[in-house]
A and B are shown apart, each in its own frame.
Chain A
Amino acid sequence: MRLNCPHCGPRDRREFYYYGSADYLNRPAADAALQAWDDYLHNRDNPAGVTQDLWYHEQGCTAWLKVKRNTVTHEILSVEPVAGGAA
Chain B
Amino acid sequence: MRYSGLKVITEGLFGNKGWRPAWRDPAPKAEYDAIIIGGGGHGLSTAYYLAKNHGMTNIAVLEKGYLGSGNIGRNTTIVRANYFLPGNSEFYSHSLKLWEGLEGELNYNVMHSQRGLINLFHSDGQRDAFVRRGNSMINQGDDAILLDREGVREHLPYLDFDNTRFPIYGGLLHPRGGTARHDAVAWGYARGADKRGVDLIQNCEVTGIDVENGRVIGVQTTRGAIRAKKVGIVVAGRSSQVAAMAGMRLPIESHILQAFVTEGLKPVINHVVSFGMGHFYISQSDKGGLVFGGDLDFYASYAARGNLPMVEHVMEAGMTLMPMIGRAKVLRSWGGIMDMSPDGSPIIDKTHIDGLFIDCGWNYGGFKAVPASGWCMAHLMATGESHAVARRFKLNRFATGHILDEEGTGSQHNLH
A contact residues vs B (CB 8 Å cutoff):
1, 12-14, 18-21, 34-35, 38-39, 41-48, 51, 53, 71-74
Contacts and interface: CB of A to CB of B under 8 A. Distances in A.
Contacts of B238: 48
B301 interface: yes
Nearest to B304: A72
A43 B300 contact: no
Interface in B372-416: 398-399, 411-414
B19 interface: no
Given A18-B414, A20-B413, A46-B253, A41 B398 contact: yes
Given A19-B414, A20-B413, A48-B241, A42 B300 contact: no
A20 B253 contact: yes
A48 B254 CA distance: 9
B307 A1 contact: yes
Contacts of A71: 254, 300-303
Given A12-B309, A21-B253, A48-B254, 11 more contacts: A18-B299, A34-B399, A38-B398, A44-B252, A44-B413, A46-B254, A47-B240, A48-B302, A51-B300, A72-B303, A74-B305
Contacts of A73: 303
A41 B241 contact: no
Interface in B222-248: 238, 240-241, 244
Contacts of B309: 12-14
Interface string B289-312: 000000000111111010101000
Contacts of A20: 253, 300, 412-414
Contacts of A45: 240, 244, 249
A12 B300 CA distance: 17
A86 to B, nearest CB: 22
Given A20-B253, A20-B412, A71-B254, A41 B342 contact: yes
Interface string B34-68: 00000000000000000000000000000000000
B330 interface: no
Contact of A43 (B241, B249, B254, B301): B249
B303 A13 contact: no
17 contacts: A1-B307, A18-B300, A19-B414, A20-B413, A20-B414, A34-B399, A42-B399, A43-B250, A44-B251, A44-B252, A44-B253, A45-B240, A46-B253, A46-B254, A71-B254, A72-B303, A74-B301
Nearest to A47: B240
A44 B238 CA distance: 13
Contact of A39 (B249, B298, B299, B303): B249
A46 B303 contact: no
Given A12-B309, A18-B414, A21-B253, A46 B399 contact: no
B300 A74 contact: no
Contacts of B412: 20, 41
B64 to A, nearest CB: 13
B414 A44 contact: no
Contacts of A46: 240, 250, 252-254, 300
Contacts of B303: 71-74
Contacts of A44: 240, 249-253, 413
Nearest to A38: B399
Given A44-B251, A53-B299, A53-B300, A13 B307 contact: yes
Nearest to A67: B299
7 tightest Cβ-Cβ pairs between the two chains A and B: A46-B240, A42-B251, A38-B399, A18-B299, A42-B398, A48-B302, A43-B249
Interface in B186-227: none
A15 to B, nearest CB: 10
A54 to B, nearest CB: 10
A43 B395 CA distance: 11
Contacts of A72: 302-303
A50 B300 CA distance: 11
B269 to A, nearest CB: 29
Nearest to A74: B303
A43 B302 contact: no
Contacts of B240: 44-47
Contacts of B414: 18-20
B411 A42 contact: yes
Contacts of B342: 41-42
